[in-house]
Amino acid sequence: MSSRLLHPDEYELASRSSLDSEGTFNLDDDDFESQVPPSSRFGRHRASWISRLFSSLPGYSRVKTNHRPIFARQSRRTYLRRCTPPPPLLLHPRRVPHHIRPRDLQKSTQKSTAPGRGNPHEQKVFIAASLYDRDGELARGQWGAQLLELIEFLGAGNVYVSIYENDSGEEGRAALRELEQRILSDKSIVFEEHLDLKTIPTVTIPGGENRVKRIEYLAQVRNKALKPLTENPDIRYDKILYLNDILFDPVDALQLLFSTNVDEHGFAQYRAACAVDFDNPFKFYDTYATRDLQGYSMGLPFFPWFSNAGNGDSRNDVLQGRDAVRVRSCWGGMVAFDAKFFQTAPSSPGVTPVRFRSGPDLFWEASECCLIHADIQDPQTDVEAITDTGVYMNPYVRVAYDARTLRWLGVTRRFERLYSHIHNIGNHLVGLPWYNPRRDEGVGQSVQETVWVSDTSAEGGGSFQVVDRTAGNDGYCGRRGLQVIVEERKPGQKGYESIPVPS
C-alpha cells in the first residue's frame, strides 16, 4: 500500500499521507475551490464542463480515490536526469533578473564532493517535517534519500532536522528510526504512537457536541515539528525549510533557500518562498493555501495558475518569468521561511514567535498554511495598493507527489506558456476566482461580517448574525465551511467530516 494514499485535502486521521491541508481542485467534490456560487451563470454545468476538461489530462482522476502510485525506486543517474530543469520553449525565453545565477548552485554541487558545497554563505537551516508513513516508504525511500542529500549539500554542521510522526504503526516507527541513524546533523526525531485528541482545543457545533476542528489538528501537529525552536531558544537559524512528503531535487531545495529574490550581494531576500507542487504533470496542487498578491483565490489549476482578477500582478509575474512571484500566501509542498519570525529575538523578548493556527470563527475556515503567511506579513490596510509582501512563489522550483508526475514535469513545462489564453478563457467560463467577502479587509478597519453566533438555548444551537468588529489580518485566507476530526472511525470512513453550514 502506498504511503501517499490521498490528496492533502482528503487528510485521513489514521491513514493520512502527511499533514497537508492545502486542498486540491476538484469541481465535483465539496471542497472550497469547487463551490460554484448559486448566482453563477452556468452553475453546475460549468463545473461539469471544466471537470470533463481535466479528465482528459494525464494522471487526472475525476473521482478522488485512495490509490496513489508508490514511490518508484530508481538509479541516481535517472533521478538527476529527470530532475534537471529543461530549457524553456525557445519562443518564450526565460526571463530572470540578471543578477540571478540559478545554475551556480547546481554547478557547485556537481564539481565538488565537500560537505556544505551547496551552502555558500554557511547559513543555518532548520528543516521541519510532519509525516505519516504507515509502511515506512517515505523514510526508507526517495524522500529519506533526498533529505540526506540535502543535509550533505547544506553541511551537517549547518543543519537541524526535526521530524514529528504519529499513529504510523510499528513499520513506520522502524523506518523512522533507521532514517534517524543516518542523519548526521543535530536532530529531533519524534515518533508518537498515538496523539491524544483530548489535548487539542475543541469547538461546540450545532447540537451541542464538542469536536476538534480539522485545521486546528493540522496546526497543532505542524507545530510539534517546530518544538525544538522553543526548547533551544539560544540557537539561531537563518532559514526554516518545511517539507511535505513530496519528491524533490535537493538542488532545487537549495535554489529555493538561497536563490529566490537574490539581492545585489547574493543573499536571498524573502519572508517566505514556496515551491510549486503538482499531483499530475499539468495540475497545480496547492489551491487551498495559495492566494495572489491581492488575496484572490486561484484560477484553474494549470499554468499560469493565477487569474487576472484585480491588478493581476501574480499572474503577470508568472508570465514574465520571474523567480519570485509576488503572492500573499503559498505552500507548494516545500516552503522556506526567514527564521526570525519563528524565533524570539534577543532584542524583542516580548514578541511571540509565529506558529501554525486555525481561525477563530466556527463556520469560516482557512488553511493553517495560509494563516502562517498572514502572520508574518506587515499589516495591510489597503489591500488594493499592495505591491509586495515578501512572500513569493518560485515557479522554477517544482515538486510532485509521485515519481511519474515528477518525471513528466520536465516535458510539460516546455510548452506551458501556450496555456495562458486557454487558462484565461476557462477562468471566465467557470467564474474564477470565487467571491470572498473578507478578501479586501484591511487590518484594523471597522467592518461588518456575517458570523456564526452560538446560542445553546436557540434552535439549531445558534445563528448567523451580522456583527460589527475590527478586521484582522487573515480574511483573504478563508471560506465558509467547517470540517472536524472523526474520533472513532468506522472501516472505510474518512478521518474528517464536513459539518453542514446552517442556512
Pairing mode of beta strands 159-166, 125-131: parallel
Q: In what order do the strands lie in the sheet with 239-243?
A: 186-192, 159-166, 125-131, 239-243, 334-338, 272-278, 391-400, 325-329, 291-292
- Kindly list the domain boundaries of the chain, sorted by start residue: 1-78+123-346+375-436, 446-498
In one-letter notation, the amino acid at residue 494 is K
pLDDT for 104: 67
Q: Which candidate, 406, 415, 410, places its Cα nearest to that of 280?
A: 406
Reported as a single tens digit per residue, the pLDDT across 129-145 is: 999 999 999 999 999 99
Q: How do residues 87-131 score in pLDDT, each as one tens digit?
A: 333 333 344 443 344 556 666 676 677 889 999 999 999 999 999
Q: Where do runs of H (alpha helix) occur along 203-343? A: 214-224, 227-231, 250-258, 313-319
Q: Which amino acid is at 47?
A: A
- pLDDT for residue 346: 75
450 DSSP β-pair partners = 466
- DSSP H or E segment with residue 173: helix 169-182
pLDDT-derived band at 488, boundaries 50, 70, 90? confident
Task: Judge whether residue 11 has pLDDT over 60.
Answer: no
Question: 389: pLDDT confidence band, cut at 50, 70 and 90?
Answer: very high
Angle at alpha carbon of residue 473, lines to 272 and 211, rounded to 5°: 95
Q: % helix / strand / coil in the chain, to the nearest 5?
A: 30, 20, 50
280, 58 contact by CB (below 8 A): yes
Least confident interval from 26-40, 154-168, 264-278, 369-383: 26-40
Report whether pLDDT(467) > 50: yes
Average pLDDT, the chain: 83
Which of 14-28, 90-104, 336-350, 415-429 tops mean pLDDT? 415-429
pTM for the full predicted model: 0.83
| Three cell numbers, residue 434 | 470565487
Q: Which amino acid is at 166?
A: N
What is the structure's pLDDT at 461?
87
The CATH class given to the 1-78+123-346+375-436 domain equals alpha beta
Interval 192-205: pLDDT, tens: 999 999 999 999 99
